[in-house]
Structure 1
């Protein structure tokens, strides 16, 4: 049973490895995807989601009290 699972993972690895090695246009597309993900997660987060707690409060105690108040406040 264990060898069948191991053989399956080896087969899947070789399948993807051979596919990526023989790719021509795909490598460029994967590079574009990587650049897009970097822009989305690094630059956009930095620009549009500032660390409000870090800017508004000086200590961890103040931050935790604020979060506790926000989570337990009734509407």
Structure 2
């Protein structure tokens, strides 16, 4: 049962992060096409957002490891 719970935790975290990254990148590209003069600032903000979103699957893996080894 622990293995199934760990798999669900990693699966949910990775699906959520993939959806979140796609949304952030799509909206940033849309904003860059509307305001090209802001592209540098938008790109920097996008990288910060993507980094924060990528923290979610890492936490999911940590939770999965805790579930497996406890």
Name the TM-score class by shorter chain.
0.3 to 0.5
TM-score, normalised with respect to structure 2: 0.38
TM-score, normalised with respect to structure 1: 0.36
Higher relative contact order (CA 8 A, sep 6+): 2
Bigger proportion of residues as helix: 2
